[in-house]
Amino acid sequence: MMIGRTLAHFRILEKLGSGGMGDVYLAEDTRLGRRVAVKVLPAGFESDPERIRRFAREAQAASALNHPNVATIYEICEADGIHCIAMEYVNGQTLGAKIGEVPLRVAEVLDIASQIADALDAAHAHGITHRDIKPGNIMVTPRGQIKVLDFGLAKTGPWIWRLCRSRRSCRRPWRRRSTFERGRTDRSLSRSRTTSALDTFCCSSITVSI
């Protein structure tokens, strides 16, 4: 039971969500007196070197970016054998939850899509491909600000631009910014090396609710 525990200087308050790579908790940073989100490597993986490496890579990829639409990583730590990533707490809901609530207006859809594209553009400029863009990995604040989360499957390295230089579309900035393709998912494209150099996100789940 994590609630009430203190990991390093983070007092775990409540569970925010979970996914394939870990559980995420709201916590209090007792040193700085602020709320943070703490992602914890699930029990059973704490002695799996590959999962620990992947967890560290996730934090490194996201922390290489300083962008208003990417959740900021504060630190990575290990306490009592538990590996965790402390990051900016995003007060809001996932895009998945938002889509399920009320139909979105076209202007809202475009605003959300352009913020996601801007975050991905910044990531690509750093040689980082997110590779898991989906509504559950995107938070929306009450003021409509997007925060991209979960770089757990991200690939890093200069190879992205080596591939792009040979592709005409990638040399055009207006094409490079729009790395989403309506109706196609990242997973469906990730089979070939060339297409996995691009992040894609499926707008159909949003547009269906218009």
Ligand X SMILES: Nc1ncnc2c1ncn2[C@@H]1O[C@H](COP(=O)(O)OP(=O)(O)O)[C@@H](O)[C@H]1O
Catalytic residues: 132
Site for ligand X in 153-182 (CB under 6 A): none
**C-beta of 204: minimal distance to ligand X in Å?**
20
Smaller CB distance to ligand X: residue 152 or 201?
Answer: 152
Let me know if 4 is exposed, middle or buried by CB neighbors in 10 A (0-12, 13-18, 19+).
exposed
Q: Side chain identity at 117, as an amino acid letter?
A: A
Smaller CB distance to Mg ion: residue 39 or 176?
Answer: 39
Query: How far is Cα 123 from Cα 148, in angstroms, rounded to an integer?
Result: 11
117 binds, among ligand X, Mg ion, none (CB under 5 to 8 A by kind): none
**Residue 22 lies near ligand X (rule: CB under 6 A):** yes
- The correct pick among 89, 119, 197, 203 for binding ligand X (CB under 6 A) is 89
**Residue 19 lies near Mg ion (rule: CB under 5 A):** yes
**Residue 123 lies near ligand X (rule: CB under 6 A):** no
**Residue 16 lies near ligand X (rule: CB under 6 A):** yes
Stretch that binds ligand X, among 2-10, 73-81, 83-91, 108-116 (CB under 6 A): 83-91
Query: How far is Cα 147 from Cα 90, in angstroms, rounded to an integer?
Result: 8
Residue 104 DSSP class: P
Q: Could you give the 3-state DSSP secondary structure of residue 148?
A: strand
Query: How far is Cα 176 from Cα 178, in angstroms, rounded to an integer?
Result: 5
Q: Please give the full DSSP string across 48-103, using - where no structure is assigned.
A: -HHHHHHHHHHHHHHHT---TTBPPEEEEEEETTEEEEEEE---SEEHHHHHHHSP
- CA distances in angstroms from 56 to 2, 40, 63, 80, 189, listed in the order given: 21, 11, 10, 17, 26
Smaller CB distance to Mg ion: residue 115 or 170?
Answer: 115
**Residue 17 lies near Mg ion (rule: CB under 5 A):** no
**C-beta of 128: minimal distance to ligand X in Å?**
15
- The correct pick among 69, 94, 129, 137 for binding Mg ion (CB under 5 A) is 137
Q: Summarize as ranges the residues that interact with ligand X (CB under 6 A).
A: 16-22, 24, 37, 39, 71, 87-90, 94, 136-137, 139, 149-150, 152
